[in-house]
Chain A
Amino acid sequence: MKDNMKIGCDKVGELIVEYIDGELDEATAELIKQHIEGCSDCQKLYRDMAMVCAAAAESAYEAPEELHGRVMDAVSCEKTASKRRARILNMTKTSRWLGVGIAAMLFVCVGIAGSFKILPKLVNTESNDSAPTETYYNASADKAISSSYSMGDIADGMYSENAEAESPQVLIYKTVKATLVLPDEETLVVSGEKDDAIFPAPQEPAGEDKYSSADTPMPSESATVQSPLSLAQIIVGSWEIKTDSETVKIVFSNKNECKYTLYTATEIITGNYSLNDHFLSLEVSEKNSALYIIGIENGVMTLLQVSQDGLF
């Protein structure tokens, strides 16, 4: 380093980055410049560092043009989904869906009945593999909650309308909770008023709101629709179910076929489903279905498994 230089090589090395970036004040920059002009070592340092900076800047990727479009499309979709979610959640806060209430009542009933005579049976059932072949569901309990509800016959043998005079007897094999996965534009397209194109109105009895696949017997009477969206429409979409061992996804189709698809870690199961007021029936095989009492509240679906075989 020459004596007449007012700044040393060490200082140049320290400031070279700012010098290249134009971040130094004029006076300091001039000192650096003078030093560099007279010092071959610092000249090389400057050249190399400038080249590194330039190369780094040049190595920047240009954002693909499609990124902007994708983001804006996603924003648009999410806005739509948010509105829908707000509508669904708002609606499910009402007493429109009585399933959860029914579930709560059933648990109470089980507790009461179990205290006297059902509990030994339940304990016995859970303690060995031989599940009971006959269980009863007290229609009067349901009627107490929803006077317009009466039993259909989808639950073959699972409950008895004649049980009104008896103590409530219900066997819940399993409780499953599922969370609605939003947004999911692929599967959740229900967006407002009840749409018979999504769930065609049943052939009979005319004028009533029933949602079922063609094969499923319809109930003799259904709950009064008090909301623009039906349970059948709310259920459409993608639900995430956390079981003891894994998280599975079940998608209820929005097509006329009323298909469900269950995605587990190892397999994909498909089948028909049907809804009958508070009951959800998931076809397991051509002959067997898993039957659940269904309740949906605040985007959480509670399934009480009342058939011996279940899907989850």
Chain B
Amino acid sequence: MVFDNDALATLAKEAAEGNDDAFSEIVRIFEKPIYNMAMQTLCNREDALDLSQDVFMKLWRSLPSFRGECSLTSFVMKIAKNTMLDNLRRKSTRRTVSLSTENEVGESEEYDIPDPSPNSNPAEAYERSEKIQMVREAIAELNDEHREVVLMRDIQGFSYEQIGEILSLEAGTVKSRLFRARAALKKILEKRNFF
């Protein structure tokens, strides 16, 4: 998820001026990280879709006020974060994944586990999807600070520098936080016999 900031700023400017193609490109660039944030927040495909749409609409409305003081990536992610926090406040539910909520987990699996490749055998495909689900649940169990950096780095693909900019952290803090987050993730996965 490393994009040239100048190119993004140009896209943002064009989109703010009413160029739908430019905004369409911005949506393409950020849809995966935003949707993943939403899924981690809500764990439900339809709700995550709605929330992602909400983020992009807020972005669209906010683009005219984007002056390039920060990168577009940072701008987008701050809007996403605020939108999701607002959503959580409204629902007054702190997002946790519960294995007992079969419906939520079921919906996620039904729609979002990537289809196994045609050549893989069903048992392997099943095992893989189980492991992916296990990792998702483990990530959801991390504390907010750790989950945030794991999502940004491993799932949304931001560079250390981008994470630092988005979270207003020094590079060293990003590294140490990411280390602790991954260690915590490893610990959770070990408990679940992931390895």
| Interface positions of A (Cβ within 8 A of B) | 14, 16-18, 21, 23, 48-49, 51-53, 55-64, 66-68, 70-72, 74-76, 78
Q: Is the CB of B179 within 8 A of A14?
A: yes
Known A-B contacts A55-B135, A56-B185; the reply to A63 vs B20 at CB < 8 A is no
Please pick, from A48, A61, A62, the residue contacting B195 in the complex, using a CB distance under 8 A: A48
Q: With a CB–CB cut-off of 8 A, which chain A residues contact B53? A: 67, 70-71, 74
A226 vs B59: C-alpha distance in the bound complex, in angstroms? 38
Q: With a CB–CB cut-off of 8 A, which chain B residues contact A48? A: 186, 190, 195
Q: With a CB–CB cut-off of 8 A, which chain B residues contact A18? A: 160, 175
Q: Is the CB of A71 within 8 A of B57?
A: yes
B33 to A: closest C-beta gap in Å:
9
Q: Is the CB of B20 within 8 A of A75?
A: yes
Q: Is the CB of A78 within 8 A of B182?
A: no
Q: With a CB–CB cut-off of 8 A, which chain B residues contact A57? A: 154-155, 157
Q: Is the CB of A60 within 8 A of B60?
A: no
Q: Report if B95 contacts A (CB, 8 A).
A: no
Known A-B contacts A21-B153, A67-B52; the reply to A59 vs B132 at CB < 8 A is yes
Please pick, from B27, B32, B48, B195, the residue contacting A71 in the complex, using a CB distance under 8 A: B27
Known A-B contacts A14-B179, A17-B179, A48-B195; the reply to A67 vs B132 at CB < 8 A is no
A44 vs B157: C-alpha distance in the bound complex, in angstroms? 25
Q: Is the CB of A66 within 8 A of B49?
A: yes
Q: 18 A-B pairs, CB-CB below 8 angstroms?
A: A17-B178, A18-B175, A48-B195, A49-B186, A52-B135, A52-B189, A55-B135, A56-B185, A57-B157, A59-B133, A59-B139, A61-B35, A61-B112, A68-B27, A71-B56, A72-B24, A72-B27, A78-B60
Enumerate B1-46 residues with CB–CB distance to A below 8 Å.
20, 23-24, 27-28, 31-32, 34-36, 39, 45
B3 to A: closest C-beta gap in Å:
16
A76 vs B60: C-alpha distance in the bound complex, in angstroms? 11
Q: With a CB–CB cut-off of 8 A, which chain A residues contact B133? A: 59
Q: With a CB–CB cut-off of 8 A, which chain B residues contact A63? A: 31-32, 34-36, 52
Q: Report if B116 contacts A (CB, 8 A).
A: no
A14 vs B49: C-alpha distance in the bound complex, in angstroms? 37
Q: Report if B150 contacts A (CB, 8 A).
A: yes
Q: Is the CB of A75 within 8 A of B57?
A: yes
Q: Report if B67 contacts A (CB, 8 A).
A: no
Q: Which of B23, B32, B182, B185 has the most CB of A within 10 A?
A: B182
Chain A residue at minimal CB-CB distance from B186: A52
Enumerate B135-180 residues with CB–CB distance to A below 8 Å.
135-136, 139, 150, 153-157, 160, 175, 178-179
A295 to B: closest C-beta gap in Å:
29
Known A-B contacts A60-B36, A61-B35; the reply to A75 vs B60 at CB < 8 A is yes
Q: With a CB–CB cut-off of 8 A, which chain B residues contact A66? A: 49
Q: Is the CB of B60 within 8 A of A62?
A: no
A263 vs B185: C-alpha distance in the bound complex, in angstroms? 47
Q: Is the CB of A52 within 8 A of B182?
A: yes
A74 vs B53: C-alpha distance in the bound complex, in angstroms? 8
Q: Is the CB of B185 within 8 A of A52?
A: yes
Known A-B contacts A59-B139, A61-B35, A74-B57; the reply to A51 vs B195 at CB < 8 A is yes
Please pick, from B155, B157, B160, B182, the residue contacting A49 in the complex, using a CB distance under 8 A: B182
A80 to B: closest C-beta gap in Å:
13
Q: With a CB–CB cut-off of 8 A, which chain A residues contact B132? A: 55, 58-59
A59 vs B113: C-alpha distance in the bound complex, in angstroms? 8
A74 vs B58: C-alpha distance in the bound complex, in angstroms? 11
Q: Is the CB of B139 within 8 A of A62?
A: no
A303 vs B183: C-alpha distance in the bound complex, in angstroms? 62
A56 vs B24: C-alpha distance in the bound complex, in angstroms? 28
Q: With a CB–CB cut-off of 8 A, which chain B residues contact A67? A: 27, 31, 35, 49, 52-53
Chain A residue at minimal CB-CB distance from B159: A23
B9 to A: closest C-beta gap in Å:
20
Q: Is the CB of A17 within 8 A of B155?
A: no
Q: With a CB–CB cut-off of 8 A, which chain B residues contact A14? A: 179
Q: Is the CB of B154 within 8 A of A56?
A: yes
